[in-house]
Each structure stands twice: as structure tokens, then as C-alpha cells.
Amino acid sequence: MSIIYQPAGKAREYSPKACNIYLQCTHNCKYCYAPKAMQRNPENYFVTNPQPRIGIIEHLKKELGKTRITEQVLLSFIGDCYCETADNSETVRQALELFLAHKTPVAILTKGGARCLKHLDLFKRFGEHIQIGATLTFNDEAKSLEWESGAATPNDRLATLKTLHENGIRTFASFEPVIEPNESLELMRRTIADNSVDVYKVGKLNNYMGIDKTIDWTDFLKKTVELLRGANKAFYIKYDLRAAAPSVKLYGNEVLSDEHNVY
């Protein structure tokens, strides 16, 4: 299998291409799908100090040397580039240097907060061909710690988005999963007040401990749309949320997933 691949199924909504540099994570999100997707025991996935995939930089060099990839590559679906990796994310730096040299557009989605800022200079060199996003789940720090015990705090993630945005980096926020709608809506309000996010991508919680069945998704989507349209923000509503709230009318790029990619 190629190191740069086309995500299948629901993952395709995130990006036309993806690349996973680590296959483990220190963020310990309760809802993480990765161990199941990789048919691994959680103990083999949630570890301290994940190592980069063996030979990944050599593989990337070969793949990028063969074909020019012009579609956005997302880092990453498995693992998080800016969790507490064994190499302090040095392999991410090397991969980004390669993507930059080969003019490959990149999106990075992380819950690592300020850990990504060690690569800020490199992000700047991409210009408009990179976007950096944070998954925003809970505004309440105690809830965030309960659900994503190894990830950065909400305040750290929000401050990092602001720093990135102030440095001219295109930013996005991913609201998936939505576990408590009011928490997600408050995070949207805070990022709007900060003017720190360029694009919002909003989904829902799916099939997790029955919690998703207790949520009024129509009410959540109505409030989301009102908030984001009112702030004149670009946003994309994911398929599962649209399907759970079909009475809410959406238009144009609000339902076009590739509209918000970088090129």
C-alpha cells in the first residue's frame, strides 16, 4: 500500500489524500476509532512515545519522486503528528520538507495544541498551500481531560489556532465528534470572537455508547448554521450530521467537502 493514499468511506470527507506518519498515539481519546480500524488492542495503540513508521521518509521520497501529487494530503488519520512522539515530531518536519519541495499541498489536523508551533517557520514557507486544524471537542477543561486525557487543553488548542492565524497560516477547526452540543457551540463562539479560524468542519458523534441517540441533531445544526452564517464564516457540514437533520437547508459549499481544501 502507498504511504500517500486515498481515504475510504467517511474519511474521504476530510481530504482526497492522506498520510500517517505514526501508527500510535498518546492522546488517549475515549472515542478513538484507530485501534478498531487497525484491529489492534488499545494497549498497543495508546502508548508513550510513538515511533515513526519504519522507512517512511525513504518511502515518501520514492512516491513523491514518481508522481506529482496535486491533491491535498491530510496528516493524519491514524496517530497525531503532534502527540508526544519519540522523535519530537522530527519525522513530521522531514515529511513536510519533502511535501514542500514537491509542491504537494498539506492539511494537518491535531489535538496537540502548541506542540505544532515548533514547525511554524516551515508552515510559513508553504504559503497558501497548507492549512492547520485543531479538533475542538470540549470547552470545559475537566471534560476535555476526561475524554481526551493526553491531548492539549481547550485553551491551548484555541491559543494555538490564534497564533497560527496571526502568523498568516490558514486554519480550520474540526467539530467531530460532537459529544455535548453546547460545548461545541461555545467553542465556535470563542473562535469567532478570536477570529482565529478560517474554515469550520462540523460533524456529529456516531454510534458511541448510545449518547448520539440522546442528542437533538436538528437543534444543534440549526444553531451551528445560525452562528457560522451570522459570523460570515466558511463551513462544511458533514454527511452524517446532514442526514441526522435533513430539515435544515444547506447551500453551496456548505455541503461540498473538497471546497475547503488547499491546492
Q: Residue numbers of the site for ligand SF4 (CB under 6 A)?
A: 25, 27-29, 32, 34, 79-80, 111
Distance CA 130, CA 170 (A): 7
Tell me the closest approach of the beta carbon of residue 245 to ligand SF4, in angstroms: 24
Nearer Cβ to ligand SF4, position 104 or 110?
A: 110
Tell me the closest approach of the beta carbon of residue 168 to ligand SF4, in angstroms: 26
Tell me the closest approach of the beta carbon of residue 24 to ligand SF4, in angstroms: 9
User: Exposed, middle or buried by CB within 10 Å (0-12, 13-18, 19+), for 66?
Assistant: exposed
Task: At 204, give phi and psi (nearest 5°).
Answer: -145, -170
Distance CA 228, CA 188 (A): 8
Tell me the closest approach of the beta carbon of residue 15 to ligand SF4, in angstroms: 15
Q: How many residues does the chain have?
A: 263
Nearer Cβ to ligand SF4, position 135 or 196?
A: 135
Nearer Cβ to ligand SF4, position 29 or 197?
A: 29
Nearer Cβ to ligand SF4, position 100 or 154?
A: 154
Tell me the closest approach of the beta carbon of residue 79 to ligand SF4, in angstroms: 5
Cβ-Cβ contacts under 8 Å for 237 (sequence gap 6 or more): 202, 203, 221, 224, 225, 250, 254, 255
Cβ-Cβ contacts under 8 Å for 261 (sequence gap 6 or more): 15, 16, 71, 72, 105, 107
Nearer Cβ to ligand SF4, position 79 or 105?
A: 79
Tell me the closest approach of the beta carbon of residue 174 to ligand SF4, in angstroms: 10
Nearer Cβ to ligand SF4, position 111 or 201?
A: 111
